[in-house]
A = this chain, B = another copy of it.
Amino acid sequence: MAVDSGRGDRVGWVGTGVMGAPMAGHLLDAGHPTAVHTRTRERAQDLLDGGAAWATSPAEAARDADVVGVMVGSPQDVREVVLGDDGVLAGASQGAVLIDFTTSDPRLSQEVHAAAAEQGVAALDAPVSGGDVGAREARLSIMVGGDAETFARARPLLERLGRSVVLQGPPGAGQHTKIVNQLLIAGIMLGLGEGLVYAVRAGLDPGRVMESVAGGAAGSWSLDTYGPRMLEGDFDPGFAIEHYTKDLRIARSTADELGIPAGAAAQAAELYESLDERGFGDRGIHALVLELCRRAGVTWPGGPGE
């Protein structure tokens, strides 16, 4: 059934949002027979037009699939579409591989791995970074947890989706790695927000400040990417606050369980939750500067007003 090169794999896919749709599209384009399910059928229309089959449930998407990909919104969604009555594991065949791309809780990934193993299904947790652009351009970084054999089996398919595909360790290790990624971003965004509010408050021109600092030791992908957008008052996501607050909740809960500090994440979470409550959840994470400005009684030169 399974083909070693991964070329002939029949694919089941659950979740066709801004990330899931282009990812499933790459597999379809590569010639994999693909059955898709998603909550709102019209969001799968492009894939169906491209030749994918519609599945009425996650279980049906998994039926007869060699590899089942899941890309949904939250750990609760994963629990439902994988472990639920009509979930992937209710339909998956023995020998199938389940790859959960959702950024989720490492403990849930371990639970899914164990539940899958009980019925002869191998599972990988494989959260990604790179955003919707990375998904569209198949340039994601894919952080994988699971056993080496399953990883080797899934690798050709994963390489159709990402430019960096790394087995990080046992089940859950992919999620743990994504958490590290989000902890790094928390510090970067916090420092960037505080630094830029300082700049404005001190009477500096933030764009000119970026000119001096971006190329040196204070430089970051976030400054390069979000800096120009912030200056233009463009707070479209990128990476939406409502998704990041979810990730930070997982990160903080896991860090707490591991007994380690996550002070930058705690500060960032408080600021982002405040933005979310104030209706900025669909804005990009670089809108942090707006919240810091508001608290400091400073007007961000690039607007927008509220």
Please tell me which stretch of A18-26, A42-50, A114-122, A165-173 contacts chain B, meaning at least 4 of its Cβ atoms lie within 8 angstroms of it: A165-173
Report how far A194 CA is from B186 CA in the complex, Å: 10
Minimum Cβ distance to chain B for residue A260 (Å)? 4
Q: Which residues from 223 to 267 on chain A have a C-beta closer than 8 Å to any C-beta of chain B?
A: 223, 225, 239, 251, 254-255, 258-265, 267
The yes or no answer to A160 lying at the interface (CB within 8 A) is no
- Residues A185 and B191 in contact, CB atoms below 8 Å apart: yes
Report how far A59 CA is from B3 CA in the complex, Å: 81
What chain B residues lie within 8 Å of A198 (beta carbons)?
A: 176, 179-180, 183, 251, 254-255, 258, 260, 262
Q: Evaluate whether A184 and B195 lie within 8 angstroms (CB atoms) in the complex, with A129-B218, A168-B204, A292-B261 already known.
A: yes
The yes or no answer to A211 lying at the interface (CB within 8 A) is yes
Q: Evaluate whether A199 and B212 lie within 8 angstroms (CB atoms) in the complex, with A191-B185, A191-B264, A194-B183 already known.
A: no
- Chain A: interface secondary structure? helix
The yes or no answer to A187 lying at the interface (CB within 8 A) is yes
Report how far A295 CA is from B261 CA in the complex, Å: 8
Report how far A216 CA is from B182 CA in the complex, Å: 11
Interface residues on A, range: 35 or more
- Residues B216 and A181 in contact, CB atoms below 8 Å apart: yes
The one of B180, B185, B201, B255 in contact with A196, judged by C-beta atoms closer than 8 angstroms, is: B180
Q: Evaluate whether A219 and B220 lie within 8 angstroms (CB atoms) in the complex, with A166-B208, A169-B205, A262-B198 already known.
A: yes
In the complex, residue of chain B having the shortest beta-carbon distance to the beta carbon of A166: B212
Binding site for B on A (CB under 8 A): 106, 129-131, 134, 141-143, 163-164, 166, 168-169, 173, 176-177, 179-192, 194-199, 201-205, 208-209, 211-213, 215-223, 225, 239, 251, 254-255, 258-265, 267, 292, 295-298
